[in-house]
Copies of this chain bind each other. A is one copy, B any other.
């Protein structure tokens, strides 16, 4: 955050949405108020601890609101705030960029040896992904 004074503002956005699952959470909350267990089910693969953690951070940032119906089998809804929706809007182009370039990026992540090559010399032989 304060590491770069008055620069590009991306540090601010990443401070809000930079968690591992936060983009996904925002994505799934676009459809309206959603229960905790429903979010968990939709995302899949996230542990309860981490989900709660990220939700709380988003709530603390006023990106989401937590609505606790005071019921005895607990019922809690999470909803995007107006502020949160401005964030979601700002995320749309990046989201589209990611969707459009998913294959390309995934492909690049598959060959970590490539980045070792452009050093002026060639190592023995790179895994040729046969």
Q: Is the CB of B13 within 8 A of A27?
A: no
Q: Mark A8-33, 1 if CB is under 8 A from B, else 0.
A: 11111111111000011011000000
| CB of A56 closer than 8 Å to a CB of B | yes
Known contacts A60-B108, A112-B60, A127-B84; A10/B68 CB under 8 A? no
Pick the contact of A86 from B16, B92, B97, B126 — CB < 8 Å?
B97
Which chain A residues have a beta carbon within 8 Å of chain B's beta carbons?
Answer: 1-4, 7-18, 23-24, 26-27, 43, 45, 56-57, 59-62, 65-66, 68, 70, 81-84, 86-87, 89-102, 105-106, 108-109, 112, 114-115, 118, 120, 123, 126-127, 129-130
